[in-house]
Amino acid sequence: MYTNVVPIEETQRFKFAVDTVWIDWFTKKNGEQVKKQMAIICLRDVEKNADIVHPITDYILSQYKSKSYNTQRKHAKNVTMFLNHILLNLNP
C-alpha cells in the first residue's frame, strides 16, 4: 500500500525551506495582470534536489497574504527553522 509518510530513518534526506512564487494577484480594468511575490514553505529532498509545496504554506498565505513579501518570508523562515529543528532531533 502506498503511503505519504516519510520513514523516520530517512529524515536526514529532507529539510524544510522557503521558496518564492509569483501569482496573478488581480486584473486591472485595462486587462493587465498585477503579479505579487509570495513566500511558500517546501519540503526539500536533498538527494534529488526536488521541492514539494508543504500544506503548512496555507497558514502563511492565510495570515500574511496582504502583507509584504519580506514579512511573509520572515514568518515562513521562523516556521521552517522550527520544523527543521524537530527533524534534526528525531534521530539523536
In tens, the pLDDT along 40-64 reads: 999 998 888 889 999 999 999 999 9
Residues 6+ apart with CB under 8 A from 60: 39, 40, 41, 72, 75, 76, 79
How many residues comprise the chain? 92
Residue 87: predicted pLDDT: 86
What is the tens place of the pLDDT at every residue in 61-88? 999 989 999 999 999 999 999 999 988 8
Is 8's pLDDT higher than 60? no
Q: DSSP string spanning 42-58?
A: EEEETTTTEEEE-TTHH
